[in-house]
Chain A
């Protein structure tokens, strides 16, 4: 099992550009999550999907959209990137009480 995979690992954007961060899990989990982690801080929840076909906002959803494409895949889209969205983005899936995290995507917006 690969667990939770994320692509790309690194990305540099210019202000106003758009991009989609990809996340996939092969553990057949229903729930999936997107977090952001700013320097020296804990993770903050952007969006989550409790099951295929549903998505809900977390603490910091502004400037982002998500798509739960199927049970395996949950993507995060930045329509018009801003420097304030420079961060490390983590995807996770959940089984019971435990979340399993991917390795992260480091995004820089210039």
Chain B
């Protein structure tokens, strides 16, 4: 069974904020929430991660629900270079088991 569920696709206008949701209702207390993105014909690249508190970095923000059963990746101003598949991932506390969802394909409209 999938550990994370995400919408298959989303669209956003350029320079507008994008909220990418993820459900992970079976998350355990020690699982970290990671987000990676994958550009066409490339390997995934790290975006952001968190455990319980909301997180910000130069690429994005991560909002984690209080019960930790869902999270949202926020891109503050979408650019054409942000068009990619975004994966919500649970990582176990050993740091070695990463469980990818099926991802959300983000289209950015100029």
Contact = CB atoms under 8 A, between A and B. Distances in A.
11 contacts: A33-B96, A42-B87, A42-B102, A43-B100, A50-B94, A50-B96, A59-B99, A94-B96, A101-B43, A103-B41, A103-B43
Interface stretch (B13-21, B44-52, B63-71, B76-84): B44-52
Contacts of A79: none
Contact of A44 (B36, B43, B100, B103): B100
Interface in B7-49: 32, 34, 36, 41-46, 49
Interface of B: 32, 34, 36, 41-46, 49, 87, 89, 91, 94-103
Contacts, number: 54
By size class, the interface of chain A is: 20 to 34
Interface of A is mostly: strand
Contacts of B49: 97
Contact of A56 (B46, B96, B102): B96
Interface of A: 4, 31, 33, 40-45, 48, 50, 56, 58-59, 90, 92, 94, 97-104
A46 B100 CA distance: 13
Given A42-B103, A90-B43, A104-B43, A97 B98 contact: no
